[in-house]
Structure 1
């Protein structure tokens, strides 16, 4: 065991929130900041080419290859839930969609007892993130570090799909991150000049030139260290040398390791449900039953159609067509290499009586074998998928031993609640209607998945159970809430209840899942969290 010099702040995890924290806390030079990242640096070229996500998301060097625990509702499958394991975390391997969610999401957070987390309070932080030319300047950011761009590559099938949605009463919405979300249109992406804009590229690269920021890669945090109830440091394992080292922090430890690794680390450190920690002989520092609870995710199901009268991404990603696309990308011309995996969005309601959308749909002129991302079909295809915005089903993350290298049990309990099953079936039926629109009829050949033999609600639910997958939007496992909430882990300043000098700042703190891909919301949490840390009025204890 070795010991290194003190720091003012130690940040664990360099992902959507952690990279932002490292940038903000080191910006004025007053504080010495250490950033721990379990993965390697983001030097691999496929981490920067948007289409490279197909190669990276299941690469264990750059992504934690977590799987869900078997669940009867999803045919006892172990569903992949990879999470980023490199500089930038999941922003270096994700689907590049920038989606804030609905205003009501954040007002609900505040209504749960979290002061300062209503929409009007978090809007400045969303704007602070963005570097974007388009949209209402009262709602969209112009001077942020993260470029948020519109698609520069069009396809006739996408245009036909959008037209077909409009024929069915879904209006075109040019800015779903603006005044309202509902409608259909093209996704906004974190892509700039053909390159992925991860938080590592946008925030860490400028910060790494500062002498007061120390970056330690291949360094797995194994424990937060305590003196009584006060967090004093971090123990980490160098994954190359296998040496254990202890760092100390004069001010705070900030855990930003994501919705799986954050509760795992807290539990390894003796912070979590007493019954769980006692069962694996981990000494209790603080009995906090909510650590690892409240896990939520979006469970998605995709409908696949065979295409006629057009060339899809399936063919353009092969042979001479791919060579041309690579040449276009190298010349900074529109190219499939600079696309997000989902091109078109649909935000809609499963029933007319609802006040706001409860479904999110995605569409792309491509299809993947058995609906999975990673391997394109060998025939022309297109895909329309849906997930429920705000599922009621929730689960947990539990460690199984004191070994920091052991994977935890991750059980989201997909489809446990009957309402989630009902809404998802309605989403599948909506996807079918959209693929059967008059505008899309010149291109729609036949339905490949689930196929014409799946017609009843029972048939469609059986398909959803068998082929549904994670959207990789895990959150909520260190829920924010007031001290009166026995399952809350952090307060509205993101300080861990009952402990000093310890915060959680990442997607784990979300008290409820937002109506969106969670990356933008996690970056907002990083920006707001940095301000909370730096506020002179913040007092611990």
Structure 2
């Protein structure tokens, strides 16, 4: 062991949770030595930050692990895309750039489940969200200011994450918002207030035409003027090293795959590799279900059956309609290679132009459904689940309008004057798992979300899609529709459910495979201080520990999970004391 290889804290994974955690620890007054390990590259190509291209960044092989699920029997035998960001920033550098915090009742339920409402309730989480962001709620055209009215008290203005609304909008966005309101969708003037119910403007993890990623933590000064003081090494963590049951370091493999190294931690190792990879590191370290580890001849350090279980996600399907060309100007941009190339040149020059307008501001909203809660499938749920889903701020589904699908599925479109409505299932009751497929740490796990296997999910999926169809038939909306590009063949339960099975996708919101809970909970693997049960010096801080499938796009929850763990560690080790 050399001093060069020894740190106070080792954080594995430079995604939203890991970056937030490492930055918070390393910028404390005591200036601990912090090592941040990241298996991917630097992700410093500026062209991957173009706001209007954020929908296709995941297609970059160097920025995506390229994971797929196992074939899903309830999804027509398909392997679903399970993209996960690779490199500095993690999935924040490759996802769709949606910044939503979820419902305040999500976080209150988190506190209830783990026996700590003080640390995890909304009253504790909202101040952390505010510290994370620099929010720009400016809407430049006076006639559009009716679509959002964020309360400054609900937002932060000095954090590392630059989020807000796009400066320019596509021509038909106000038209769509108005027609959706006429079709019965209530308006929400700020989804990030703690109550997401209603339709409104999506808050983007982008600012001034440029994508915001977790890498911004690297250069952010805290209020005292301190900046993070850490070491970043690009290598894959293969396993945690133990002395008996105390974590003492991390074994890594170089990016070339040829060199093994060990880095040592005098205080703690914290895994922030995400819902799909943190359980892999744990299992190859000997922590997980005993029989499963022994199947692959892995020496068991601690039998922990919950590791790899509890996988949750949000699944969605689209409804796509051709719209009147007079309502928008997409054909003149997406239909012209010259216009798109000129737009990119303008963005490279000064971060302005059509690539900061097209695809940069869409609408989204979360809703409750009496048809879902009156169904027999809902009534068959455990009473505690029913009570949670009936809480004031808990939605049953999400709708997004204006998603630029042609960027991912060009074969569907003859031209670009179209509109996609997407329905997302919230609070899914199907529960999946991740499992080893070999004894080699470099092999990914087998990912099985068991999508749409629960009767409630199937009933909710049917009612969600039927509501989308009802919206499109309303006169205020239908007047600008020319034809259907993609929808279920009929409104029967059978055809709608089959449409989901044939077309559902993951939204890459994977959660819960190393779930936080109370000692003795059979489905829990870490306690409410992020400590892995029955070992020392090892914590987990990423979406794998979150015990509630939050009703949002989960990158914001990943950030706040990292900062919450940092607060816990800073308090325990008195890192901010003189």
Fold in common (TM above 0.5): yes
Is residue 215 of structure 2 the alignment partner of residue 197 of structure 1?
no
1:240-255 superposed matches below 5 A? 240=256, 242-255=258-271
Q: 1:56, CA displacement in angstroms?
A: 2.9
CA distance in 1, matches of 2:564, 2:410: 34
Q: 1:294, CA displacement in angstroms?
A: 0.5
CA displacement 1:461-485 (0-9 Å, x = unmatched):
1111011101011111110101020
The runs of 5 or more residues in structure 1 that have no matched partner are none
1:456-535 superposed matches below 5 A? 456-535=492-571
Question: Which of 447, 458, 463 is the matching residue for 1:426?
Answer: 463
Contact 1:151 1:339 in 2 (8 A): no
How has the CA–CA distance of structure 1 residues 20 and 113 changed in structure 2, closer, same or farther, with 3 Å as cutoff?
closer
CA distance in 1, matches of 2:550, 2:405: 27
- Structure 2 counterpart SS, 1:7: strand
Q: 1:25, CA displacement in angstroms?
A: 1.1
1:338-487 superposed matches below 5 A? 343-351=362-370, 354=390, 355=392, 356-364=394-402, 366-368=404-406, 377-380=413-416, 381-450=418-487, 453-487=489-523
Is residue 4 of structure 2 the alignment partner of residue 12 of structure 1?
no
Q: 1:266, CA displacement in angstroms?
A: 0.4
1:192-341 superposed matches below 5 A? 192-200=207-215, 202-206=216-220, 212-217=229-234, 219-240=235-256, 242-310=258-326, 311=328, 313=330, 316-317=333-334, 318-326=336-344, 329=347, 330-333=349-352, 335-337=354-356
CA displacement 1:59-103 (0-9 Å, x = unmatched):
331111111111210011111111011100000001111111111
How has the CA–CA distance of structure 1 residues 538 and 426 changed in structure 2, closer, same or farther, with 3 Å as cutoff?
farther
Contact 1:254 1:503 in 2 (8 A): yes
CA distance in 1, matches of 2:228, 2:427: 43
How has the CA–CA distance of structure 1 residues 260 and 375 changed in structure 2, closer, same or farther, with 3 Å as cutoff?
farther
CA displacement 1:411-447 (0-9 Å, x = unmatched):
0011010111111121112222233333333431111
CA distance in 2, matches of 1:36, 1:224: 12
- Structure 1 counterpart SS, 2:217: helix
Q: 1:532, CA displacement in angstroms?
A: 0.7
Structure 1 vs Structure 2 CA RMSD: 2.4
How has the CA–CA distance of structure 1 residues 308 and 455 changed in structure 2, closer, same or farther, with 3 Å as cutoff?
same
CA distance in 1, matches of 2:317, 2:50: 26
How has the CA–CA distance of structure 1 residues 23 and 422 changed in structure 2, closer, same or farther, with 3 Å as cutoff?
same
Contact 2:53 2:355 in 1 (8 A): no
Q: 1:491, CA displacement in angstroms?
A: 0.8
Q: Tell me the number of residue pairs that the alignment of Structure 1 and Structure 2 aligns.
A: 533
Corresponding residue for residue 170 of structure 1: 185
Q: 1:155, CA displacement in angstroms?
A: 2.6
Q: 1:536, CA displacement in angstroms?
A: 3.1
CA distance in 1, matches of 2:538, 2:59: 32
Contact 1:49 1:338 in 2 (8 A): no
- Structure 1 counterpart SS, 2:231: strand
Q: TM-score, normalised by structure 1?
A: 0.93
How has the CA–CA distance of structure 1 residues 376 and 428 changed in structure 2, closer, same or farther, with 3 Å as cutoff?
same
- Structure 2 counterpart SS, 1:61: helix
CA distance in 1, matches of 2:106, 2:322: 37
Contact 1:313 1:336 in 2 (8 A): no
The runs of 5 or more residues in structure 2 that have no matched partner are 138-149, 374-389
Q: 1:53, CA displacement in angstroms?
A: 3.5
CA distance in 1, matches of 2:169, 2:2: 55
Contact 1:103 1:119 in 2 (8 A): yes
- Structure 2 counterpart SS, 1:248: strand
Q: 1:274, CA displacement in angstroms?
A: 0.7
Corresponding residue for residue 126 of structure 1: 129
- Structure 2 counterpart SS, 1:410: strand
CA distance in 2, matches of 1:509, 1:373: 33
Contact 1:41 1:86 in 2 (8 A): yes
Moved more, 530-539 or 453-462: 530-539
How has the CA–CA distance of structure 1 residues 442 and 367 changed in structure 2, closer, same or farther, with 3 Å as cutoff?
farther
CA distance in 1, matches of 2:81, 2:405: 18
How has the CA–CA distance of structure 1 residues 345 and 55 changed in structure 2, closer, same or farther, with 3 Å as cutoff?
closer
How has the CA–CA distance of structure 1 residues 375 and 87 changed in structure 2, closer, same or farther, with 3 Å as cutoff?
farther
Contact 1:313 1:366 in 2 (8 A): no
CA distance in 2, matches of 1:70, 1:3: 47
Kindly indicate which of the two structures has a greater share of residues assigned to helix: 2
How has the CA–CA distance of structure 1 residues 298 and 442 changed in structure 2, closer, same or farther, with 3 Å as cutoff?
same
